[in-house]
Amino acid sequence: MISKKWFILIIGVCTFFVTLEANAQYLKANGYNGIWFTLGQFSQYGDKYSGGLGTYTANHIPVAIYAPEVGKTFFVYGGTTKKEDRHLLIMISYYDHKKGMVPKPVIVYDKMGVDDPHDNASLSIDDMGFVWVFVSGRNTSRPGIIFKSTLPYSIESFDKILEDEMTYPQPWWIKGEGFFYLFTKYTKGRELYWTTSKDGRVWAPHQKLAGMGGHYQSSNVWKKKIVSVFNYHPGGDVNKRTNIYFVQTDDLGETWKNINGKSLITPLSDIQGDALVKDYEAEGKLAYINDVNFDKEGNPIILAVLSSHFEPGPKGDPREWMLIHWKNGQWNFRKVCESTHNYDMGSLYVEGNTWRIIGPTEPGPQKYGTGGEMALWESYNEGVDWKKIRMITQGSSRNHSYTRRPLNAHNDFYAFWADGDADKLSESKLYFSNKKGDKVRVLPYNMEQDFQMPELLK
């Protein structure tokens, strides 16, 4: 008979070695090296999109979350081993606001030779502080994978929870309710789905939200109202993406409504149906949705880039940054600025009467490539007028792209992005800026210590 004392000791030793084994699976990288990618669809002015895409895509939401309980901003990104390898690693780390330091990033999942940042991850944190990583799959060839941290507010080790068909992950933890998860499946084109879970382990059957030939969506949450904004792909052709649609639910998908509160029947299939915000197809325009946020009353605001051609170069001009705001019972359309590429992706911030846009709105060193130089724009009258406050980056050797807005963004880690040469293979570094845009820090590309302060560039 084993005594209670020895039993506890044996269990403790076993737990120790199990923990060592679990932690051994989650190696740390010796620096923050972003993934570089080229789609390989070239025309006169280069690839359709390429460069440093560690924070890609606009449809992976969110990729960073500030957790006030521990004073840290957690973030995920597409990393790699070194520039020449182009070997995608799903990375996670955090910025400690009190110490002003970052640890060596943790490799959550090795994509085993895949170089495609469509497989990047999204992030969530539940009520107990557990950190969830939703790794995107790709079509039906690579499944999506869900991981959960073994300890609250920790990135040291993770449990693999689920593999399933899911791309462009957009997980939202609804306080007291559980997960509401929006994602894409390649059924008849890129179609939109959702599912729910109380605990992240047992999930309801997938339900289709929209199927009109294909869609890209952006989503957000206001209190317990979940909204999805998406375009559609005529004939399943992503190069013809157009129109903008809006749907919302306040009961975890039991009912879906349009902006006027009219109930909708899902899956949506009518191109001219009640969810339609703007018929850009009739105007011959393409619509690239960047972000969706809310004014102080909870009315939705959509940020999109409009274009006249899917290829890079001047024949797609003007690339118009358009703000679409629901107010006074109608959609109001305001042009913010113009940029040089369809995939110049920025983020929209709303704080009372001050609205901000941070993104690569200015031409970069690779003029016709993805991204450019980062700028800060502000509006003080609900998006009617916009002013460029400052350049956030200048004189760069590589384009900056895919500015991401952290959930609950802290003033010191307000925007998160990567850089990369859009014309040729290059290293890719990762950056974040403060709210004013006057302080930019680069995450350490090489690390010799376990913790290091990001370099202040300006």
The DSSP line for 94-156 is EEETTTTBEEPPEEEEE-TT---GGG-EEEEE-TT--EEEEE--BTTTB-EEEEEESSTT--S
Tell me 453's DSSP state.
Answer: P
What pLDDT, on the 0 to 100 scale, is given for residue 13? Answer: 33
What pLDDT, on the 0 to 100 scale, is given for residue 85? Answer: 72
pTM given for the model: 0.93
Least Cα distance to 267 among 192, 177, 325, 345 occurs for 192
Tell me 240's DSSP state.
Answer: G
C-alpha distances in Å from residue 455, one per residue of 101, 102, 257, 307, 376:
10, 11, 47, 36, 21
What pLDDT, on the 0 to 100 scale, is given for residue 62? Answer: 98
Nearest-angstrom CA–CA distance, 242 and 306: 9
What pLDDT, on the 0 to 100 scale, is given for residue 25? Answer: 54
Mean pLDDT by 10 residues, the chain (458 residues): 36 34 67 96 96 98 98 98 82 98 97 93 98 93 96 98 97 97 95 98 98 97 97 97 98 98 98 98 98 98 98 96 98 98 98 97 97 98 97 98 98 98 96 98 96 95
Q: What are phi and psi of 286, to 5 degrees?
A: -95, 150
Q: Given CATH 2.120.10.80, say whether it is the number of domain 4-456.
A: yes
What pLDDT, on the 0 to 100 scale, is given for residue 86? Answer: 83
What pLDDT, on the 0 to 100 scale, is given for residue 308? Answer: 97
Question: Residues 340, 356: contact at Cβ < 8 Å?
Answer: no
What pLDDT, on the 0 to 100 scale, is given for residue 19? Answer: 35
Type of residue numbered 261: G
* Contacts (Cβ under 8 Å, ≥6 apart) of 102: 32, 93, 94, 95, 96, 443, 444, 451, 452, 453, 454
What pLDDT, on the 0 to 100 scale, is given for residue 149? Answer: 98
What pLDDT, on the 0 to 100 scale, is given for residue 139? Answer: 79
Q: E strands, 250-398, where? A: 256-257, 263-264, 276-278, 286-294, 300-307, 319-327, 330-339, 347-351, 354-362, 373-379, 387-391
Nearest-angstrom CA–CA distance, 29 and 103: 10
Question: Residues 245, 276: contact at Cβ < 8 Å?
Answer: yes
Beta bridge partners of 269: none
Question: Residues 55, 359: contact at Cβ < 8 Å?
Answer: no
Phi/psi-derived region of residue 8, left when phi > 0, alpha when psi is between -120 and 50, beta in every other case:
alpha
What pLDDT, on the 0 to 100 scale, is given for residue 83? Answer: 65
Phi/psi-derived region of residue 335, left when phi > 0, alpha when psi is between -120 and 50, beta in every other case:
beta
